[in-house]
Each structure stands twice: as structure tokens, then as C-alpha cells.
């Protein structure tokens, strides 16, 4: 019985080159094929017109070719596009294209489901099924990049790993996906345009520093005292604020990169000036900017969107009294299932239903 074939997008360029040479095809064909895979984002060997049929037949015989397919898509009145993708084994993951006046951002997933169960997050209601492979992460970017150019005639400007899953618990595959996205042999997007967001895995933040990554790092903070943060994020039990502070200082020392603090602001939970003072105190640990994010409520959730006046007062205090760089991210896609995990939970197409 023959062994299971490798997927063409899970092998390295060197492995592809070795196959080309072993089969006595010209060496240059390896780069040609690699360009079709990672620069032109094809989804079939038959979409490689300048590759001879004999090579394509050999590839089909030797390697599988799997990719994400679009299972559902919603377009908001504000232009936000939410896509649900099916993996080859029929698990659903999500990606979002967020257009604003100054940028076109793709928000992508790194895992199918999530193990962290943050109380405010729809994805937290989905059990972790598996880590996404580099190609599956890349596919989300390629699709949303195409949507940006065809639907809005604007180039994709930014990528954020803030969708389903915890990127630092899928470390190797996330970094490999970024390699394909940023490489001149891939999509050629600058790593400075990429932000990886973590709920706070201190040892992996330090590993990012050791690896001297070129992309940006965001910490999903949401509360700057341990009691409140633990209440909404179980991860804080094992990665408390003091531990995270040390890891962030190490990361900045090794990379020189400014950190972003993501702070979802909830009604009557973390929206007071006292909360802002705690945030400002914690933010002193590294050069940073702060994104205050309006909450996008989830079905049957216990948290609500904060009063806009309190959001503005919160941001104003941080800017004027604490001299911090602050951006308020207004809620997008309010008329669609825009909160991360909602579309997978609802599964309007009937492809997959997640249950705890």
C-alpha cells in the first residue's frame, strides 16, 4: 500500500527542487512552480500554463494539492467583508477584510477554534480542532488581497493575525506563513505591515525576541490589573501581568520594535478613568501604542459595548494626561456576523457546526 502523499504546499523549495532533479526535469522548473504556488496563488496544477504537461502529471502523481475554499461570505454596509473558509477536512475558519479611509486590512485566523476560551470572544466558545498549516493561513491573505483589489481597487495594506486562535500556540506554522506572505518569492508584503496578536504567552513572546522577528507584536490586554484580566481571560492565571511585562521588555530589547496594546473596552467593566490609569502605568514597560477597540457584541454574551462618551474620555485621558499614542478602533461590520467566531458558530451555509 502506497504511503500518503505530501501536500505540495507543505514541502520546501529545496524539496521541490530535489523532486524536479530526481525526475530529470530542468532545474528552472522548480522556481516556476514555486512562483505559481506562492506568488500567483493558484489552486490547481492545471493553472500553471507554462509548466509542461509531463511535469504537471508527475506533480499530480507525487503530491496532493489542498487549499481553503470559501463556504460563506457577508458584506457589511460599511464595506467590511467577512469570509468563512472550509479547510480540506471541512473545518471552518474565518477571515475579515476591513476597509478604512487610510488602510485595507486583512484579519486572519491561525487555528480552527481556540483553546483559550476568553469570555468575551465568540471563538472562545469553539473547541480547538487543530492548528492551521502555513498554506491555509496564506490562503486567507491571498483571498482577501484579491477581494481588496477586485472589489475596491485598493491594494491590501495591512495584515493582522487577530482572527480565530492564538497565533503563538501555532508558532512554527505562523512564522512559515509569514515567510510566504513577505518573501519576494511569495506575496512580497512588508513584515512591517503585519501584526501578530497574542492573548499573552510569555515564553513565546520571548522566543519572538530570540528569533528577532521583523513583524509587529500586539498584546490583547483588555485589563491592566490581574483580577479583572483573569476574570475575562483564563490565560492570565499562568501568564500574569508581571510575567508579560518581563517578556515584553525582553522582546523590545531584542527587536527594537514598538508593541501595540489592544484594549477592548466593555461597558461598566474596564471603561473608567481608574482603568485608564492602570493601563497607562502598565504601558510604561515598553515603547508602545494603544488601540482602544469598541466591542462587537456576540450572541448571548455577558459584555456590552461601552458608551461612546466614556470611550472618548478614556482615550483623551491617555493621550492628554499620559502622553500616549492612542487610536480608537470603531466597531465594524455591525450588520453582519463580524465578531471573530460568529460566522463559524452560526454556520449559515450548513457546512460545519461547531459544538462544545
The torsion angles phi and psi of 249, rounded to 5 degrees, stand at -60, -40
Q: Which pLDDT score, from 0 to 100, does residue 318 have?
A: 98
Yes or no: say if 222 and 235 are a contact pair by the CB < 8 Å rule.
no
Which is nearest to 208 in space by CA: 162, 159, 243, 259? 259
Is the torsion defined by CA of 356, 236, 159, 189 positive or negative? Answer: negative
DSSP annotation string for 210-243: HTT-SSEEEEE-S-SSHHHHHHH-GGGGTS-HHH
Q: Which pLDDT score, from 0 to 100, does residue 125 have?
A: 80
Which tens digits make up the pLDDT trace of 294-337?
998 877 668 999 999 999 999 999 999 999 999 998 877 666 65
Q: Which pLDDT score, from 0 to 100, does residue 122 have?
A: 82
Q: What is the pTM of this model?
A: 0.92
What is the three-class DSSP state of 344?
helix
The rounded percent of the chain whose pLDDT value lies above 90 is: 84
Domain boundaries, the chain: 12-64, 69-346
Q: Which pLDDT score, from 0 to 100, does residue 47 have?
A: 97
Domains 12-64 and 69-346 share a fold: no
Which tens digits make up the pLDDT trace of 71-112?
999 999 989 999 999 999 989 999 999 998 889 999 999 999
Residue 266 pLDDT greater than 90, yes or no: yes
Distance, CA of 111 to CA of 128 (rounded, Å): 7
Q: Which pLDDT score, from 0 to 100, does residue 354 have?
A: 25
Which tens digits make up the pLDDT trace of 199-239?
999 999 999 999 999 999 999 999 999 999 999 999 999 99
The rounded percent of the chain whose pLDDT value lies above 70 is: 92
The torsion angles phi and psi of 349, rounded to 5 degrees, stand at -90, -10
Which tens digits make up the pLDDT trace of 330-356?
877 666 655 454 445 444 333 332 222
69-346 CATH fold: TIM Barrel (3.20.20)
Please tell me which residue, 341 or 136, carries the higher pLDDT value.
136
Which tens digits make up the pLDDT trace of 39-49?
999 999 999 99
Q: Which pLDDT score, from 0 to 100, does residue 117 have?
A: 87
Per-residue pLDDT band at 126 (split at 50, 70, 90): confident
Residue 22 pLDDT greater than 80, yes or no: yes
- CATH architecture assigned to 12-64: Orthogonal Bundle (1.10)
Strand ranges (E), 100-224: 104-107, 111-112, 130-131, 158-161, 194-198, 216-220
What is the three-class DSSP state of 161?
strand
* Mean pLDDT taken over the chain: 92
- Active site members: 94, 340
Amino acid at each position: 500500500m502506497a504511503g500518503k502523499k505530501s501536500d505540495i504546499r507543505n514541502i520546501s523549495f529545496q524539496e521541490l527542487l530535489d523532486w524536479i532533479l530526481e525526475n530529470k526535469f530542468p532545474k528552472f522548473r522548480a522556481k516556476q512552480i514555486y512562483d505559481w504556488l506562492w506568488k500567483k496563488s493558484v489552486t490547481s496544477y492545471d493553472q500553471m500554463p507554462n509548466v509542461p504537461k509531463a511535469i504537471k502529471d508527475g506533480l499530480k502523481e507525487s503530491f496532493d494539492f489542498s487549499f481553503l475554499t470559501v463556504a460563506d461570505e457577508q458584506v457589511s454596509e460599511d464595506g467590511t467583508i467577512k469570509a468563512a473558509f472550509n479547510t480540506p477536512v471541512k473545518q471552518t475558519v474565518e477571515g475579515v477584510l476591513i476597509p478604512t479611509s487610510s488602510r485595507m486590512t486583512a484579519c486572519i485566523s491561525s487555528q480552527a477554534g481556540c483553546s483559550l476560551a476568553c469570555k468575551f470572544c465568540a471563538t472562545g466558545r469553539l473547541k480547538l480542532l487543530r492548528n492551521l498549516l502555513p498554506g491555509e493561513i496564506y490562503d486567507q491573505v491571498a483571498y482577501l488581497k484579491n477581494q481588496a483589489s477586485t472589489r475596491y481597487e485598493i491594494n491590501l495594506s495591512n495584515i493582522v493575525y487577530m482572527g480565530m486562535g492564538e497565533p503563538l500556540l501555532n508558532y512554527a506554522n505562523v512564522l512559515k506563513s509569514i515567510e510566504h506572505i513577505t518573501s519576494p518569492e511569495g506575496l512580497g508584503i512588508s513584515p512591517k505591515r503585519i501584526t501578530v496578536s497574542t492573548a499573552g504567552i510569555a515564553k513565546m513572546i520571548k522566543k519572538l525576541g530570540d528569533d528577532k522577528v521583523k513583524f509587529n507584536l500586539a498584546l490583547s490586554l483588555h485589563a491592566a490589573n490581574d483580577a479583572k484580566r483573569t476574570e475575562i481571560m483564563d490565560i492570565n492565571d499562568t501568564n500574569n501581568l508581571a510575567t508579560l511585562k518581563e517578556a515584553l521588555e525582553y522582546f523590545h530589547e531584542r527587536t527594537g520594535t514598538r508593541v501595540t496594546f489592544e484594549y477592548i473596552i466593555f461597558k461598566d467593566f474596564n471603561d473608567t478613568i481608574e482603568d485608564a490609569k492602570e493601563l497607562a502605568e502598565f504601558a510604561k514597560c515598553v515603547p508602545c501604542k494603544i488601540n482602544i477597540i469598541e466591542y462587537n457584541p456576540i450572541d448571548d454574551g455577558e459584555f456590552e459595548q461601552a458608551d461612546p462618551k466614556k470611550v472618548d474620555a478614556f482615550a483623551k485621558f491617555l493621550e492628554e494626561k499620559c502622553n500616549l499614542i492612542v487610536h480608537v478602533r470603531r466597531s465594524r461590520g455591525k450588520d453582519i456576523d463580524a465578531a471573530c467566531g460568529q460566522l463559524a458558530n452560526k454556520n449559515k451555509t450548513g457546512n460545519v457546526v461547531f459544538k462544545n
